[in-house]
Amino acid sequence: MLRTQFGKAGLGLCAIAVPLLIASCSSGTSGTIASQPPVSSTPLTSAAPAPSPTTLPPTPTPTPSPSPSPIVLLSPLTGLPEPTPKPVLVVKLDNTRNAQPHAGLGSADVVYIEEVEWGLTRIAAIFSSAIPNHIGPVRSARITDIELLAQYGSPAFAFSGAQQKLWPMLEAASFEDVSANKGGEGYSRDSNRRAPYNYFADGQVMLERAPKASFSTDIGFLFSEDTPLGGRPASKVTAEWPYSSVRFVYDPITGRYNVRLNGAPAKGEEIEGSQQASTVVIQYVKQTDSGFHDHSGGRTPLAETVGTGKALVLRDGQVWDVIWNRPSEELGTTFALADGSPMPFKPGQQWVALVDRDRTVRIIP
């Protein structure tokens, strides 16, 4: 045995030189020693695990910012698109059968009907969105115009004249006077009509004569295409004065009211059919004797448009009872429903009939 032959020293020698010992022992024994794997001189170490890939959160797709909606500017007088405010022109018109057909009235933003002497009426037409170059027949101013038009600031006011003692009050009013009394530029006579129903104004020239005329501004109207709740059917409404009348007849095809003045369709030189109103206002006002009168003794009423009172508003074949309110001359006129919310007008041409509060109108459902 190797251990007996070599003793402890032999064991130390084998430990020092393992390859030599294996060879020596192989030659001196009859047994077979299985070969061993070579010993590596490099110490073995545990293999470090491969780093796992880091999972990053997905990059969010940026949400495109919505393009801002273009701002659509609306006319404060019609509720229709108006890119920029424009100066205001008021023209006083005749309102008898002899005035038909009117010229330029179809382009007005707001149309007022007011009572004058002998139970007749006149029209105050407000233009801003469009200014016709042929408007008429032009007639004279009345005392009601001073207070009524003050809510428009200082508009250009075209009229044919006035009685002499009214002139100082007209001179002190807020509007820009471009009447014939201040010069004939822009006025002309139509040879196809008889006087005094043949006097016409060029709207463009009127504004040129009034470079300081105020621009369209809020006069209290609120507009909406949506019909408010609470209305009752009203296909026709008629307001009457002793020698004048106006009737509005709803047209379901156009969604507006056809206008009849003094028993006949309100014709226009530049339009087919009759004049049409998107919204009709019957504004009940306090009327008093103004102290003015014409040369035949007809008394001129004064319609008070500052204060508060009842009104009827018609649109879309319906009517609403409302309250109108105007605190002062400088402020506009608002119209409120029974619950106090504003009454929205239908965009388009607005007609306002000033009716003595002691009168009534006829409404047909």
* Residue 68: φ, ψ to 5°: -65, 135
pLDDT digits (tens, 9 = 90+) for 204-232: 999 999 999 999 999 999 999 999 999 99
Six-digit token pair at 309?
Answer: 């009172």
Average pLDDT over residues 147-162: 98
pLDDT digits (tens, 9 = 90+) for 32-41: 333 444 444 4
Amino acid at 287: Q
pLDDT recorded at residue 71: 79
Collapse the DSSP code of 259 into the 3-class scheme (helix H, G, I; strand E, B; otherwise coil) and give the result.
strand
pLDDT recorded at residue 53: 52
Q: What is the DSSP letter of 164?
A: G
Count other C-beta atoms under 10 Å from residue 260's C-beta. Answer: 18
Query: What structural domains does the chain harbor?
Result: 1-26 (no CATH), 77-365 (3.50.90.10)
pLDDT recorded at residue 38: 43
pLDDT interval class at 270 (50, 70, 90): very high
Average pLDDT over residues 241-267: 97
pLDDT recorded at residue 13: 28
pLDDT interval class at 24 (50, 70, 90): very low
Collapse the DSSP code of 278 into the 3-class scheme (helix H, G, I; strand E, B; otherwise coil) and give the result.
coil
Q: What is the mean pLDDT of the chain?
A: 87
pLDDT recorded at residue 186: 98
Q: Which of 42-46, 84-88, 125-129, 354-358 has the lowest average pLDDT?
A: 42-46
